Chain A
Amino acid sequence: MIENLHLLINVSLLAFLVLIVFAAINTNNLFVATMLFGIFSFVTALLFLDLDAVDVAFTEAAVGAGFTTVLMLSALRLTGAFENVKHRHSVLGLLIVVLTGAALIYGTADFPSMGDANAAVHLNLAPEFIQLTQEKIDIPNVVTAVLASFRGYDTFGETVVVFSAGVAVLLLLGMGHVEPKQEPEQNIVLWIVVKPFIALILIFGLYVQFHGDFGAGGGFQAGVIFASGFILYSLVFGESYARKVIPSSILPRFAALGVIIYGVTGLASLLGDKPFLDYNALSSNPVSGQHIGILLVEAGVGLAVFATVLLIFYSFSGVNHNE
């Protein structure tokens, strides 16, 4: 009975996704397509939750449904593309897509059945990592342990990629200059409700950052949530006030500082006669060394992601546009 209910949820969420993408193909209005994409990201986050991936669902909801929608709306405002776009049916494209899809479906004949516990992918590394997390790192969240400690190099690369994206957007758009207006447009309800909300969002961001070891969470989600508090402030109170709170000049420095914190943690391990990013060298007890290492590394990641996300938002909102 519970098995069938689970299957029903799975099938209905996937059906939602298919319907949303159909609607996005057929619409001519770019605003509608952007909002449908936001809904698509949110339903994908629900699907991830159904497939037992809590960290991934968290990240997809914060990053995909939250930040990507805000970013696309900012870009739409700048390109002025709310009006209808040309609709182009491509028969050749349809043919290519159908052939590729058929080839891929033929390829899935070898795939293991969904949920099969004896599939090859579950046999070697996964039980070993779950075992090693309990012995050597001793934190409940296995995904954080693997991300920050066992696969620390990859996460370092990812942090540098996020930083480079911030640099690229800075090079393309610049930080912009927002003239200090007078008072922003009076909106009593929003002002009063949003102020405690921003406080709650910032506290929640810090909670997610430091509880990433014990439950779902970690540096990436925390950075995005923390930045969205400031983005909310900017949307409700005006960009000039937001730039007074967090000046645009310190954001690139924070992003670089995040990457540097990560690198310095790795270098500190070298000073302890161990390989780069081996946290056992950070303390006399290897397990507490791992804890310290994961804390520092996640802090670096959170800082870099927060600064880059806010930087990208400032860049998009600071471009002068003719209205």
Chain B
Amino acid sequence: MELRCVRTGVILGSLVALAVVGCATGQTTTITGSGDPVADRQRLMKNNGANWAEIQAKVKAGNAEAVAVNAEALSLHAQRIPSLFPAGSLTEKSKAKPDIWQKWPEFQAAAKNLENRAGTLRDQAVAKDAAAVTATVATFGREACGTCHTPFRVPPPQQQPAPPRS
């Protein structure tokens, strides 16, 4: 009996200790990505592009309410955008313009704008307000993505065809 109590006590104590250590390290750990911010942000933007293409396809197919999951992804990704543009990360592979770092508050505001608008779109979809979703989607490309892409990105020279949809 005593032995069992001791054993339980040891196990519980170990768990508590692990939890404390876990929390302590958790507080100081931040997601830093792969260590290559250009690759990380290009991956994130490609993902955003895929989500945006899917949103448009869903709206065209009359399935406006289903865009919530894509809009949520866009909103969450937008929160990460500023952290993916650390100073000195303008490499040859990057399509970013130096203006990002010269007008940093404007760049941050553009990312926040995407976060907010994507959040609005998500809420409209969750509320099953198809008319509101359609209206938001009509201007989203220009007013959510474009406010950042127009001043802060060198556009790609090649026009890509639409990816095949299954």
A and B form one complex: no
**Residues of A in contact with B (beta carbons under 8 Å apart):** none
**Residues of B in contact with A (beta carbons under 8 Å apart):** none
